Amino acid sequence: MNPARTVLQTRCVQVVSVACALLCLAGAAAAQVAVRGRQVYTAGPLGNIARGVVVISAEGKITDVGPQDRVRIPDGYRVLDAEIVTPGLIDAHCTVGLSGLYNQPHDSDQIESSAAIQPELRATDAYNSKDALVEWVRSFGVTTVHTGHAPGEVISGQTAVIKLSGDTVDEAVVLPVAAVAATLGPESFRQGSPGTRGKQISVLRQELIKAQEYLAKRRRPAEPDADAKKSEPPARDLRLEMLAAVLNKEVPLLVTAQRAQDIASALRLKAEFGIDLILDGAAESPLLIDQIKAAGVPVFVHPLMTRAFGEMENASVETPALLDKAGIPVAIQGGYEAYVPKARVVLFEAAIAAANGLSFDRALESVTIRPARVLKVDGRVGSLEVGKDGDVAMFDADPFEYTSHCIGVVINGRVVSQTPR
């Protein structure tokens, strides 16, 4: 026997075996899936279902949800079992994908400090779907994030809604422009930026007025003029275009403000310019509950385990319950921190809310359907309903208990994690 030929045959067999294994894995990833649970919390009209099942097609959409004794799982479906099944969790605001796991310059794209006003910066241009922090957060049941440029400049850039899956941001993005992120208070006092609250609001107001004038000029019909240049619309300006979108209510202004005085300033800007506003952080929001409710503004509450000092000295673990009791739409965020890992896991933050006045169902809603509604992506994510994306989180016990584990995550019908966390 020819030894060289034997080695070649062996290598060919190995290559074929590996190829077959990869094909099997690819087929499993794209296969139709049914997720069964002792308890299924849908966060939607179907409520909570004892011994429920969620059926997801090969196209990644939910085709049926209900009790196991009613819903038939078609032949050939991959069946996953868990004690508790919930919609994939949604982080209401973070910098995951722009902030990296290692806190090094090469993976830190969350803040650009060369200018105080920069609404033209796109979150999708900075997002890295391959960063290890994406996988880590996903392993705890988070399937969708509202991520983008961090607090730190008067306007730091845009945010986007992105799935924690896919090889590129183009495959993962749900909403490429979700909001324009602004910051009020000392967090954006930097060299070269406004250093007082009065200057911050003045600069922000002036930029919005410029955007109003820009809109008016672009809308004005061209008129014959001796000077042809005067009749032409102004040249495109990416900064003013984005602020014009805020003025047109195409996207909201997301304002990170912790102190009551800064929250009040944000509410005045909303009233003055008629814009849509989302309050972010809002540590002292319980002091202005009546004003926030009257303005019809939702709140993305700071991570509840944040350190209570400086601007956050009045942060409270009871804030979500207080806002919810008042009828204010509230969601919980993972937020941004300037040190490793730069993001908290909303599963644990919602658990703190559930232990401090917020019911289990409301706590779950604060990291599922509520942020989805505020961000206007509830047609796809946030609850387990027929027609929505097949995003599911699976747990071996109460997800808000410290000793429980997330044992499986499905995004768009694909199993992306089965490592217990």
Give the confidence band of 18 by pLDDT, cuts at 50, 70, 90: very low
Do 51 and 103 sit in the same domain of this protein?
A: no
pLDDT, tens digit (0-9, with 9 covering 90-100), for 294-332: 999 999 999 999 999 999 999 999 999 999 999 999 999
- Closest to 97 (Cα-Cα) out of 139, 136, 155: 136
- Closest to 148 (Cα-Cα) out of 247, 251, 265: 251
pTM of the model: 0.90
| Residue of higher predicted confidence among 193 and 62 | 62
* Segments forming the whole domain that contains residue 52: 31-88+382-421
Do 309 and 348 sit in the same domain of this protein?
A: yes
Q: What percent of the chain has pLDDT over 90?
A: 81
Total of domains in the chain: 2
pLDDT, tens digit (0-9, with 9 covering 90-100), for 243-255: 999 999 999 999 9
Are the beta carbons of 350 and 400 closer than 8 angstroms? yes
Mean pLDDT of 146-153: 95
Indicate if the pLDDT at residue 74 is higher than 70: yes
Do 68 and 181 sit in the same domain of this protein?
A: no
Q: Mean pLDDT for the chain?
A: 90
Q: Tell me, what CATH number does 149's domain have?
A: 3.20.20.140
Do 84 and 206 sit in the same domain of this protein?
A: no
Considering the domain boundaries, does residue 359 fall inside one? Answer: yes
Q: What confidence score (pLDDT) does residue 15 get?
A: 37
Considering the domain boundaries, does residue 185 fall inside one? Answer: yes
Do 346 and 198 sit in the same domain of this protein?
A: yes
Q: Tell me, what CATH number does 51's domain have?
A: 2.30.40.10
Considering the domain boundaries, does residue 6 fall inside one? Answer: no
Considering the domain boundaries, does residue 282 fall inside one? Answer: yes
Q: What confidence score (pLDDT) does residue 221 get?
A: 62
Do 79 and 94 sit in the same domain of this protein?
A: no
Considering the domain boundaries, does residue 78 fall inside one? Answer: yes
Do 289 and 208 sit in the same domain of this protein?
A: yes
How many whole angstroms separate alpha carbon 237 and alpha carbon 217?
Answer: 12
pLDDT, tens digit (0-9, with 9 covering 90-100), for 350-392: 999 999 999 999 999 999 999 999 999 999 999 999 999 999 9
Largest Cα separation within the chain, whole Å, is 94
Give the confidence band of 223 by pLDDT, cuts at 50, 70, 90: low
The dihedral sign for the CA sequence 292, 243, 100, 91 = positive
Phi, psi of 263 (to 5 degrees): -60, -40
Considering the domain boundaries, does residue 26 fall inside one? Answer: no
Q: What confidence score (pLDDT) does residue 26 get?
A: 39
Tell me whether the omega of the peptide bond preceding residue 341 falls within 30 degrees of 0, making it cis.
yes
Considering the domain boundaries, does residue 158 fall inside one? Answer: yes
Considering the domain boundaries, does residue 3 fall inside one? Answer: no
Q: Around 20, how many Cα atoms within 13 Å sit in the side-chain half-sphere?
A: 6
Residue 91 burial (10 A CB sphere; 0-12, 13-18, 19+): buried
Residues 377, 145, 86, 47, Cα dihedral to 10°: -30
Number of other residues whose CB lies within 10 A of the CB of residue 212:
15
- The residue written with tokens 């306007």 in the block is 155
Mean pLDDT of 14-20: 39
HEC per residue, 50-118: EEEEEEECCCCEEEEEEECCCCCCCCCCEEEEEEEEEECEEEEEECECCECCCCCHHHECCCCCCCCEC
Q: Give first-to-last CA distance, the chain, whole Å.
A: 52
Do 377 and 335 sit in the same domain of this protein?
A: yes
Do 45 and 186 sit in the same domain of this protein?
A: no
Do 276 and 156 sit in the same domain of this protein?
A: yes
